A and B are shown apart, each in its own frame.
Chain A
């Protein structure tokens, strides 16, 4: 069997699956590589095999994903699960590990969908055992049905309220919700209200979640600021300010969340052009309306292209597939325009809605740009803000220079956790826009790679006939 495809898609979340379905329907040979055992991405993780007796507690958006996953599993697509991509070449070559073998395929067009990650929450003590992200709490729930009783949820954004509501529906006690959304949200978001009204169902859903939390009797501390984790060797509580008063609440588990940002490592390692998106306060690849990046044969879809959510990702996936078909000469320009228009329109309305959310739930500067010198920035190499400041004062004004001097960003996460913080710190210290500062220069491998796997690249295996994955 051939290891050359018309289109290869990396990542089987809503964007990747939708792209694959569209491309397969249009008659392309399609391979999808996904690092998990089952398709779905983070949002629809294990949706067809939930460990929960009643997955509906996770909400309609989650259960609706099952339909997409089933369609994906039934289509004429070469699906490769547990396929961990560690290199994408500028020549369209994709190297990945599967069953402890290094494998390779080549595609004329690539659509990558590496997804999002939670924005780091670099406050004092955020590295202590007992502190996790709200997203990881949700992963534990979706994959293993595991929960933590008596936890504090702190931060801002819809996902925070969603996971709290999911906990409450399962009868899990929640100690407190410490909401860092600044006061005056309506004023901030007023100019985007039109966008919000275009998605009334989502708006109502958001309000319902908040009501659900209040009705359950969970103490909610609004407009909290200056958060810090209490504890020496592990978290014992959360301290914060509200209305000029300092509060301390004890808890052994604290879940932090202040929105999500694109997972940059793949798009950065590919050397794509990026820009600093001021609205979302994150680096984003420079893309056209079809997700086309600065590299001619690579498109980016899903939240890695800028945070838009699962529904928008489906449209973006279809658009990227249509454009790829057009570039392959299998869809003429007129048909491309015609088939794209509904998707383009849908994305526009999701973007308007997202502008509202971004304005309403901003991650505040004090929780993005560390204030205390002993706050860890790089968790892998244990570099504090104070140590980075010292490196900066020795002349390291660029993220890569700071990395070379302090080892910040050199650890196994390749700067996923500290990259945005370092860009913003260096901008802050030099009083420059973040866009002037830049980001780490990244490379393959996209993840830790054993010497054994790498050495096999001399004797590479072609793509393997995909194993059947049952729904």
Chain B
């Protein structure tokens, strides 16, 4: 069978890229080895965060953030997005001056979405915060979405526009013959003009088949969620200098993250939790919010996620083959970029250019480094 584009990987970026490509009129196929949203895209913390982004990511993240506000309408689906604001808490003057320095740097680049708040305002926004917290920084547009729902919303919208999704089909080999990519899987062989690597924790393998090496690693960031409890936190909460991260959903459950990593075996899709690190996250959470002492943990889990050495994703064209593109290695903060990355790739594929500076995200950026 022939397609204009074949996407390897049915996470949020694969599904969103399928949506934008289909919207541009390309006949698109997504190949997913498990099921759509099975890994990081379906089980992440759902943070939709512009606050604290690497400066290189800010333009993309800002565009994505404005799209999240109306994404349900755009996709005619339910991503579960809720705008709640995100506050990173400062516990001392050193934290406060870090905030000030960053805000000044952002202002120099023309950005004003991060705003410093003092202790009084912090307590107004988060009445249950510990008394020793001195202030913080807020980004008003931030919030959360439900990862599996958001990924499904992109997938369904893409399917309505004619994109095809094959689940349980694993890529075996890629060959470029003239202008055609021959895509062989464990079930069939397809021809495509363009291939796009959205393979997450497996993206280095896909990249290799496209002729590009990449220093990707993978890990298993861990999460836990409480049973329902009375509402005490509207905003999503983080901290400047501690591994604190949680959000309370509308149903009262509290999702606790913080970036602690478990153990990952990507060959078997298997992750193992590191309970000592989760215990530390529990300790940190109740230190910042004493009300959390009585919370009960209901579930803990981890997802397989791809990391790059500089914690920045790879987005853009391949360097060793024509009509090959990458979007992977989001290093545990790619979910929010879902509504923009696929569109940028679609612009590249259909027009050869984009308004965004993708230089920091080149796949060959590590090859020039002298170690």
Contacts and interface: CB of A to CB of B under 8 A. Distances in A.
Contacts of A445: 297, 299-300
B286 A451 contact: yes
A452 B299 CA distance: 15
A451 B148 CA distance: 26
Contact of B42 (A404, A412, A444, A449): A404
Contacts of B280: 455, 458
A401 B297 contact: no
Contacts of A405: 148-149, 152
B227 interface: yes
Given A443-B300, A444-B275, A457-B279, A450 B38 contact: no
19 contacts: A95-B275, A395-B36, A395-B165, A397-B35, A401-B148, A404-B42, A412-B227, A443-B273, A445-B300, A448-B296, A450-B295, A451-B286, A452-B286, A455-B280, A455-B283, A455-B286, A456-B279, A457-B276, A458-B283
A90 B273 CA distance: 11
Given A451-B226, A455-B286, A456-B279, A401 B35 contact: yes
Nearest to B301: A443
A411 B251 CA distance: 11
Given A414-B299, A443-B299, A395 B279 contact: no
Interface in B143-200: 147-149, 152, 155-156, 165, 167
Nearest to B149: A405
Interface residues of A, number: 32
A372 B278 CA distance: 41
Given A414-B299, A454-B297, 15 more contacts: A395-B155, A396-B152, A397-B35, A401-B36, A401-B42, A404-B43, A404-B148, A405-B148, A443-B300, A449-B296, A452-B293, A452-B294, A454-B278, A454-B279, A455-B286
* B226, B293, B297, most chain A CB atoms within 10 A: B297
Contact of B296 (A401, A451, A458): A451
B37 interface: yes
A444 B297 CA distance: 10
Contacts of A410: 298-299
A386 interface: no
A395 B152 CA distance: 8
Interface string B7-48: 000000000000000000000000000011110001100000
B274 to A, nearest CB: 10
Given A401-B35, A444-B273, A451 B293 contact: yes
Contacts of B35: 397-398, 401
B285 interface: yes
A367 interface: no
A262 B147 CA distance: 32
